[in-house]
Structure 1
Amino acid sequence: MRREIDASSCLDVASFAEAYGMSELLEEANDFVLKNFWEVSNTAKFQDLPAEKLLDFISCDSLCVPSELAVFRAVILWIEADPEERLGQAGLLMTGVRFPLMTFREFREVRAVNLRMECFGNKEVELYGSALKEFGFSLPKTKDQCRVRQPKDALILTGGDQLNQDMGQRIPSRELWFANSLRSGTGLVKEIEWRRLGEMPDKPKFRHGAAAMDGRLYVVGGCYFYRWHHSFPLYLYCTLASYDPKQDTWKRLADMQEIRSNFSVVVHEERLYAIGGDKDISTNVDSVETYNPDTDTWSFVHPLDQALSGYAVAVVNGGIFISGGFNCNYLCLVSMFLYDPERGTTYLADMTHDRAQHCMEALRGRLYVAGGVCNLRNFYTDQQACEVYDPVSDSWTDLASLPVPHVGAASAVLEEKIYVLGGYCQEDYSESGLVHRYEPSTKRWENMGKLRGAVADVRACLLQLPQHFRQ
């Protein structure tokens, strides 16, 4: 039932779980509603919600909506399904709408809808009566009346590279960008609204590792200068720094024991794991080390069974899964394996397509793989094919292909949707600054606009930002 939760079924699953006392399933179904509220509000089942259940949802701090106007519109949809019976409950439901978070332009729609409601013959209804007090005509009684809905994850982009055929002319980035809402234009036009968060300390970097753990952003390793000629080596980092969004400060932490680039950092059981990667321009490694934030120390754990870089990694059901990547001969692999820090590697079913420099994200118990490069005789070419792995059946299924190449792209899951961000095209080495989003329910990729700043070998993760960043 967990795997089948979608916008049309989530409310039924929640009702079933509540009736039979299945608390974990109920929490997951309710969480899906909160993360996909606007989509759920447009389903037929939403019209049958009891008023008290609807009020619970819209009063929740973790409700994810593009604006507070979306909450108001959802309530109006529910009322209009049976206006004679439900207009009497409008005043109570409107207490869940946080009118102070609206702009004055958005509030005009509230007034217009109120006039329309009066046409139903109920002169007593005033949808925004209590809102006038909150909206500035008197001071709110409590801070809760004006609380921004939290937690709401922000998509954070760190570092990256701007491509140039002359490697010495590349311009890596120190910048951090974030987005946590969609800006909808006319018709079906949508794009992500990016805002600058700040800069990383020290020098810029790309092909680094980035992860969020316990409310902090960790950035580790990577490189800041790139020349193909052996007299100009790849300059690598072993440094680790953390960013605290509450204090808006960076802290330098212990260095890794080995320099790494073209690798990933993953969070597992409240520790960071830095896996494999390149140690110079033509050598990758099999070592794995873990960072303990309590002691600010790195230590080596069980190595991989072969040198690996340019892979993708994700955690699902408590296991660390690693797909593809370059082996010691820099051939793209089809492998998929489960890595354990104590026992090492357990190989699983191979992917259908070989790939490296790709993305993999966990969503609802499955692993989605997209983009990268693949082998082409003595060279590489773009890999636009996508596939999904089911850990239960140990099998792969093809997905819709990416519309454009995304090599060295970042990726993340935001509000139950998969985002592939930036990268480049292997064929002509041009930048691919686009963002594509995969919607599991429609099984389609859609264009979500362009990145800001550097676009190649950038890293992404989710982090909760304080209110002042988001307003």
Structure 2
Amino acid sequence: MKSLAHFITYILSPQRGRKQGSRSFCTEDWSGGPYHLWQRSPANWTMSISDSAHRPFDPGSVSLPTQKDRLDLPLPDRRTPSWPPSPDEDPSLPPFPLEEPVRRPKAPGNLLSPALSLEEEENEDEEGAAEPEGLRSEEHPSQFFAEAQRLREQRLLLDEEVSVGGRVYGVHRVILAAISSLFRDRLLGGRGPRPPLSLDVAAGAWEAVLTFAYEGLLGPAPWGDVLVVAEALGAPRVKAAAQGRRKGTGSAREDEKQTSPAEELRENLRSVELLYKEGVGCDLELEAGGCRLRVHRAALACGSEFFGAMLLSGMRESQGTEVSLHTISAQDLRLLVSFAYTGAVRAGWPGLLRAAQTAVQYQSSSCLALCQRALARGLSPARCLALFPIAEAPGLERLWSKARHYLLTHLPAVALCPTFPSLPSACLAELLESDELHVQEEFEAFMAVWRWLAANPETEESEAKALLRRVRFGRMSTRELRRVRAAGLPPPLPPDLLHQLLVEAAVPGQERRREPDQALVVIGGDGLRSDMARRQPSRGVWWARAFRCGTGLVRTVEWGRLPALPAPGRFRHGAASPAGSQLYVCGGQDFYGHANTLASTLRWDPGQEDWEEMAPLCQARSFFPLLALDGLLYALGGRNGDVALNSVEAYNPELNVWRPAPALPAPRFAHAAAVLEGRLYVSGGCSGAGRYLASLLHYDPKLEKPGTLLSPMGVPRAGHVMAALGGRLYVAGGLGETGDLLSFEAYEPRTDSWTHLAPLPSPHVGAAGAALQGELLVLGGYSHRTYALSHLIHAYCPGLDRWLCLGTLPRPRAEMAACILTLPSVQHIALVPTRHQTKPAG
């Protein structure tokens, strides 16, 4: 075909012939040629690390290939090369920016049936949707008492005075009543001015109790004096804390048993909530829509920004004992008051949507953050369509972004939902216009428009034409165009409109590729030199956004090259992107001896040409995961030389400094970690004694005892990958007591249970893993049985429960790192294609 216009005329002609060879494809014999998967006998080649240009050979510091590096993890030597060489730093390849890549075919995962309406979906079984019943904000108790402390320091809303040692302390009676029976009795006595309560106790011990009430920990004071104050106030929890301090003096085991300040504050808030439910000491009555609630003035001001502003404004409502709220419904009033006392929202998905709207309207930031997180986790096609118009309201920008991203990544499934035709045409046009629309083929975008037009026959022809013009017909294949011709346009649209649009799309250069906003980046690793003679740590940094389907079973990955790591390269390192826009690499090894463990930290920004050296780790480490959480980077455990570590370090990108963080419960290395819904999980690895671990750990750096053991994996493993996807944790591959592990498991946090899924098609020990566009990717690694490096990329599709081979890495690697990075749009074309003929696995 000389042009697309000629082809369109041909394809729309009913008399066209079926001439063979009208479109040519690469049908190269995959048993030979340049892509032949060849192997050489180990007898015909050798691997040498003694003649490295940058390290002298030291027999005492190098791990022999037949050993397990004293850690039950093999350092493979005779790895049979399974792919022809392509150098990591080929000067003939253009640097970033590279080509504008094409979106890889995507299958939606973890979706409820798109054929269900929202009402039908809510009646589905509990497994079909994550109904967040009784969601609770972990931050609310600390925010509640931080506000109470601020009010006390500014002497606002104080209703009790206590005289100790000649000094008068102003306090909030309800806050002290949460820990003291004495103040609870005074709260029962009603409101109104009273003479100061005089206590004959040590001032330091009294202040320590105040600190416990407002901050959750005992202040510095002799434990004996604190016990006296606790007895006088009737404060059993203060007494228990003081006794625990006494027993724990000089005992690490007893220190571990101490309740953390965060837990004490949660208990304090539960006591305040109990006072509210029992109606003890309530000094304010709120009325809205016929609903009357008696509350504590101070507690309400601490738990709700809206009521705090009202009670501290000096207006008439802030002085009386009854307040009528004419602009608030009874349902909203109950929600706001309940959240102020509990930090919880007890509602299903529709109730959460209303709660989010209420939180925006009445300035409850904690409630809004909780609802937005829950709504974003529970998205489905029907829910997303219900949420998208509402999320456009001011204050719900984060939720709108999540809903828009869901629509972009799941449009084919959303188009099957019964409520899809209710989506405004302007929203559909904006989705079709986006380069980030994830469709397996452009025909899916056409079918989404077709279904919308078929369900809205009253649509004017001009509006229908505007939608259809956003379908990129110029990017369609021959097969897709034939399917378009077969589908036609739904009535009452004229049939010749389709022919007109196809002819318009034949203008060269008019259609852009659809380009996802995130790229997969692979950094460093252990591989073979181009001459296959010896192993060498890699400096290569590659990125890919295009995973393309070729003819038949051919898969093509379009790789681009980023600036290489500084010489001599590294492997067994950590890599992460805190905000998705900058890439950090730290630790690892630059050679094969125990003395070659690194502490250096490197950073690359898409606007930079080279890597920038940042502050080093406090302790050199390898075999460890690096993760981003709450704006910080965490390096967890690992190995320094031949010593396993339990230490954790946190890096602040703004300050460029590493600081120690609470340690893991026990040393481990070759483990995996992932962040799911703001919680950091650590799985498996090897202990300091070289035993494979099956444990799963929730690590919370905000707690003094950060490690909470959860249900263990079904199989102990190390050198595996773990990623968070669709509200679950997935663990794949690695090495176990029996050798290569193909087993694949998923962890459900709600039930604290594991489920075995379709196994991996081939071994991946020391592989890299990442979650991209709704799929789990496992890249490279090696086989413990054959010591052969792997170049394969396997993807798990949760919706299909099977593995697919997406293609290959630029060259076989193991013990590299991978992460997801947001790269700017690229206009220049420069391909580094790799191909692999494969069939669906599993």
Correspondence 1:15 to 2:388: no
2:585 to 219, 228, 232: 219
1:457 to 790, 810, 815: 815
C-alpha separation in 1, matches of 2:632 and 2:587: 16
SS at match of 1:181: strand
CA contact (8 A) 1:64 1:152 kept: no
Identity %: 34
Q: 1:80 to 1:253 in 2, by over 3 A?
A: same
Correspondence 1:237 to 2:598: yes
Q: Which ranges of structure 2 fall in alignment gaps of 5 or more residues?
A: 1-108, 117-379, 830-842
C-alpha separation in 1, matches of 2:486 and 2:749: 54
Correspondence 1:312 to 2:672: yes
Aligned residue-pair number: 443
| 1:56 Cα deviation after fit | 3.2
C-alpha separation in 2, matches of 1:447 and 1:408: 18
CA contact (8 A) 1:151 1:464 kept: no
TM-score by length of 2: 0.48
Q: 1:92 to 1:357 in 2, by over 3 A?
A: same
- Higher mean C-alpha deviation, range 4-13 or range 340-349: 4-13
| 1:172 Cα deviation after fit | 1.4
Equivalent position amino acid for 1:463 in 2: L
C-alpha separation in 1, matches of 2:712 and 2:787: 28
Equivalent position amino acid for 1:246 in 2: G
Correspondence 1:353 to 2:715: yes
Residue equivalent to 1:33:
407
The one-character-per-residue Cα deviations of 1:218-239 (angstroms, maximum 9, x if unpaired) are 0111112115xxxxx4411111
| 1:37 Cα deviation after fit | 3.4
User: Whose helix fraction is larger, Structure 1's or Structure 2's?
Assistant: 2
Correspondence 1:209 to 2:574: yes
Alignment of 1:426-445 (within 5 A): 426-445=784-803
Q: Which ranges of structure 1 fall in alignment gaps of 5 or more residues?
A: 137-145, 228-232
CA contact (8 A) 2:721 2:734 kept: yes
| 1:64 Cα deviation after fit | 3.0
CA contact (8 A) 1:13 1:26 kept: no
Residue equivalent to 2:653:
293
| 1:358 Cα deviation after fit | 0.3
SS at match of 1:223: coil
SS at match of 1:224: coil
2:737 to 375, 378, 400: 375
Residue equivalent to 1:59:
433
Structure number with greater CO (CA < 8 Å, separation at least 6) is: 2
C-alpha separation in 1, matches of 2:504 and 2:617: 56
TM-score by length of 1: 0.82
- Higher mean C-alpha deviation, range 193-202 or range 206-215: 193-202
Correspondence 1:254 to 2:628: no
Q: 1:375 to 1:66 in 2, by over 3 A?
A: same
C-alpha separation in 1, matches of 2:443 and 2:620: 48
C-alpha separation in 1, matches of 2:389 and 2:497: 37
Q: 1:74 to 1:296 in 2, by over 3 A?
A: same
The one-character-per-residue Cα deviations of 1:225-280 (angstroms, maximum 9, x if unpaired) are 115xxxxx441111111111133442110111111111110001101111111101
The one-character-per-residue Cα deviations of 1:41-75 (angstroms, maximum 9, x if unpaired) are 5x4759746560422321345423467x4576445
Q: 1:115 to 1:398 in 2, by over 3 A?
A: closer
CA contact (8 A) 1:79 1:86 kept: no
Q: 1:433 to 1:45 in 2, by over 3 A?
A: farther
Q: 1:308 to 1:357 in 2, by over 3 A?
A: same
User: Whose strand fraction is larger, Structure 1's or Structure 2's?
Assistant: 1
Equivalent position amino acid for 1:224 in 2: D
Q: 1:87 to 1:457 in 2, by over 3 A?
A: farther
2:635 to 270, 274, 295: 274
Residue equivalent to 1:425:
783
Equivalent position amino acid for 1:14 in 2: C
CA contact (8 A) 2:671 2:719 kept: yes
Correspondence 1:405 to 2:763: yes
| 1:33 Cα deviation after fit | 2.5
SS at match of 1:277: strand
C-alpha separation in 2, matches of 1:446 and 1:112: 25
Q: 1:39 to 1:174 in 2, by over 3 A?
A: farther
| 1:28 Cα deviation after fit | 4.1
Residue equivalent to 2:681:
321
Correspondence 1:178 to 2:543: yes
Equivalent position amino acid for 2:437 in 1: L
Equivalent position amino acid for 2:769 in 1: S
SS at match of 2:699: strand
C-alpha separation in 1, matches of 2:540 and 2:414: 36
